[in-house]
Copies of this chain bind each other. A is one copy, B any other.
Amino acid sequence: MKIEAVDLFYLAMPAVTDAGDGSQDALVVRARGGGITAWGECEASPLTSIAAFVCPMSHGACKPVSASVLGAEVSKPEDIARIAAAIEWESMDLLQAAHTWSGIEMALWDLLGRSRGEPVYRLLGYKQAYPKQPYASQLFGDSPEETLRRCRSAREAGFNAVKCGWGPFGRGSVKADADQLAAAREGIGAEGTLLIDAGQIWGEDVAAAEARLPLLKDVKATWLEEPFHGSAYEAYGALAGKAGSLKLAGGEAAHNVYMARHTIDYGKVGYIQIDCGRIGGIGPAKRVADYAVSKGVTYVNHTFTSHLALCASLQPYAGLAGHRICEYPVTPQPMAWEMCANHIEPDKNSEVRVPDRPGLGIEVDIPALRKYSVDTEIKAGGKTLYRTPKIA
């Protein structure tokens, strides 16, 4: 079938704050072809990603993403890879292209899966989808007491793994971090899995990160995530060499497969975290999963938005039984929750699994798309390049 239309919908909460909470807005992608409607989601900055879809061409290697997508043929997985290669070439100098394409790519997998009546993970070559252990992904509280409360809540909600990140962590003294970490461990309990996300706070300062290693070991953290800038592989590698049994996690900023591979090869992470909404979608993420397996590294999704993004992000490693942990946004904003008509919820064993449904397995809630729509219009050179499309 041909890709007949790709429509982008910018959603947001009525008020967006500067909290480190990626569920406050979304760019939802609707792709249509062969009478089928399918969905995907880009991460992040909806307006910028829309611009990268509709912008006028700058030259032969700086075309809008739309140029390689609209009208293209998609009847098998290789077609999606072919379009990806076209964008890599034709939009080479358009930096945002990878983020824009990511959500479209997901929607094309959804389209293909729906047209074949197959879940996406089967199209990727997996025979079955294994259950994952969701970790409650949340922010550190402003105080240790607040962190304790949040981690307790996650545990009471049935999670036996929690990630605390951002907020005050790494910004103050080592003692302050120690108190936060102790609170997090107390909240999740002695047996719980505790993950810590430093949110790039140390730039490439290995010594600052190293000073926290004993604390992280004291609270038996499973990983330390993003201690450094996403491209500071040498800092990662140096810290990994000192961290012993504590593993590093990183890779969410990767906007191509190379960057993820380098995070493994040079950064020596033990967990490679891929955001399907940034790396170019599900196809490149699957290539990273294969690479991680070959290198003895554990693949994990990076998702801090909706269950549409979550469901897409689980597909690339759905069939890897040993790669069990999965990021699960536990306190999404109402927009991010309501935009999906169905959700992936932990079962009685506190496990989640991708829906056994065609495509990505998520239906979008049309009224919620209307409710949270940010009406947008872009004009250039006397032409209207973009106007929020009709939702239904």
Binding site for B on A (CB under 8 A): 10, 12, 16-22, 24-25, 43-48, 50-52, 54-63, 88-89, 92-96, 98-99, 166, 199-200, 229, 231-233, 253, 255-256, 258-259, 262, 266, 278, 374-382, 385
Contacts and interface: CB of A to CB of B under 8 A. Distances in A.
A25 B20 CA distance: 36
Contacts of A199: 61
Nearest to A374: B381
B92 A95 contact: no
A87 to B, nearest CB: 13
A10 B379 CA distance: 12
Given A21-B59, A45-B52, A233-B258, A379 B376 contact: yes
Contacts of A63: 18
12 contacts: A12-B56, A16-B59, A18-B59, A20-B61, A21-B60, A44-B62, A45-B55, A48-B94, A51-B51, A232-B258, A376-B381, A377-B378
A200 B92 contact: yes
Contacts of A382: 375
A17 B58 CA distance: 8
A43 B24 CA distance: 30
Given A58-B24, A59-B20, A231-B256, A44 B93 contact: yes
A200 B89 contact: yes
Contact of A60 (B18, B99, B200): B18
A40 B381 CA distance: 22
A47 B98 contact: no
A369 to B, nearest CB: 15
Contacts of A88: 229
A254 to B, nearest CB: 10
Contacts of A61: 20, 199
Given A20-B60, A48-B52, 18 more contacts: A10-B380, A12-B381, A18-B63, A19-B59, A20-B61, A25-B59, A44-B94, A50-B51, A89-B200, A95-B95, A95-B99, A95-B255, A231-B259, A232-B258, A262-B262, A375-B380, A375-B382, A377-B378
